[in-house]
């Protein structure tokens, strides 16, 4: 897994609430057997016309906006458990998603793929949207070590929550399987001692 430490970047605004995993990556693209290539179909139905040409009014097709951070309305990633949603976001080139609320499974999946979900207050989120309305080249800085996110246009910062274990994993680029494999003995003991 790729490490995540500190990131300063312009960002892509998607001020829509309840963006579900069927929008992030529609089911018909889930037929692959590898993790690669999903970035091309990120938000496919919002992004492309039927004939495959880009929809002009969708933010990913607007050259004004770019960057490694996606900023979205509340309850991002609701719906299915498909990790393909995280692969699509990572495959497109995002390293962090900022929202005021995330669905649980999506958040886990993102963390397991080195993508940082940053939970901010509703006010901070609306300021981020305001800043980019004024200046499309506005930037955010996300510092995982100190757990802070800064809106560089206003200079305001906010701290965000992350589980200490997950934070370590991300800072060091380690994943859960490495950890669990190191616990083999405890698994066998558990199986032996279990009474039900």
Q: Provide the binding-site residues for another protein, judged by CB under 8 A.
A: 15-18, 20, 22-23, 26-28, 30-35, 45, 50, 73-75, 78-84, 86, 101-105, 108-109, 112-113, 122, 126, 163-166, 175-177, 179-181, 183-184, 186-187, 190-191, 194, 196
Nearer to another protein, 3 or 190 (CB): 190
Q: What is the closest distance, in whole angstroms, from the C-beta atom of residue 108 to another protein in the complex?
A: 6
Which string of DSSP letters, residue by residue, matches 92-155? HT--EEEES-B-HHHHHHHHTTT-EEEE--HHHHHHHHHHHHH-TT-EEEEETTTTEEEETTTT
Could you tell me if 109 and 76 are in contact, meaning their C-beta atoms sit under 8 angstroms apart?
A: no
Strands, sheet with 156-159, edge to edge from the N-terminal-most edge strand: 116-119, 96-99, 69-72, 6-14, 139-143, 148-151, 156-159
Sign, CA torsion 136/138/143/148: negative
Q: How far is the CB of 159 from another protein (least distance, A)?
A: 17
Task: Name the residue nearer to another protein (CB basis): 9 or 65.
Answer: 65
Cα-Cα-Cα-Cα dihedral sign, residues 17, 21, 23, 24: positive
With respect to another protein, which residue has the nearer C-beta, 15 or 39? 15
Angle of CA points 1, 7, 87, to nearest 5°: 40
Nearer to another protein, 156 or 166 (CB): 166
Rounded to a whole number of angstroms, the minimum distance from the CB of residue 59 to another protein is: 13
Nearer to another protein, 80 or 131 (CB): 80
CB of 196: closest distance to another protein in angstroms? 5
Closest contact distance (angstroms) between CB of 35 and another protein is 5
């Amino acid at each position: 897994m790729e490490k995540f430490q500190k990131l300063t970047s312009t960002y892509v605004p998607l001020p829509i609430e309840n963006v579900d995993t069927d929008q992030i990556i529609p089911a018909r693209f889930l037929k692959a057997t590898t993790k690669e290539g999903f970035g091309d179909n990120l938000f496919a139905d919002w992004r492309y016309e039927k004939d495959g040409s880009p929809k002009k009014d969708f933010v990913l097709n607007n050259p004004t906006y770019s960057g490694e951070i996606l900023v979205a309305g509340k309850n991002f990633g609701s719906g299915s458990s498909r990790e393909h949603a995280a692969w699509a976001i990572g495959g497109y080139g995002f390293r962090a998603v900022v929202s005021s609320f995330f669905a649980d499974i999506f958040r886990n999946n993102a963390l397991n793929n080195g993508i940082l979900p940053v939970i901010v207050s509703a006010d901070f989120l609306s300021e981020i949207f305001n800043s980019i309305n004024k200046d499309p080249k506005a930037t955010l800085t996300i510092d995982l070590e100190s757990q802070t996110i800064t809106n560089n246009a206003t200079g305001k910062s906010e701290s965000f929550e992350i589980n200490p274990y997950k934070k370590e994993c991300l800072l060091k680029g380690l994943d859960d399987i490495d950890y669990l494999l190191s616990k083999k003995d405890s698994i066998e003991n558990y199986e032996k001692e279990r009474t039900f």
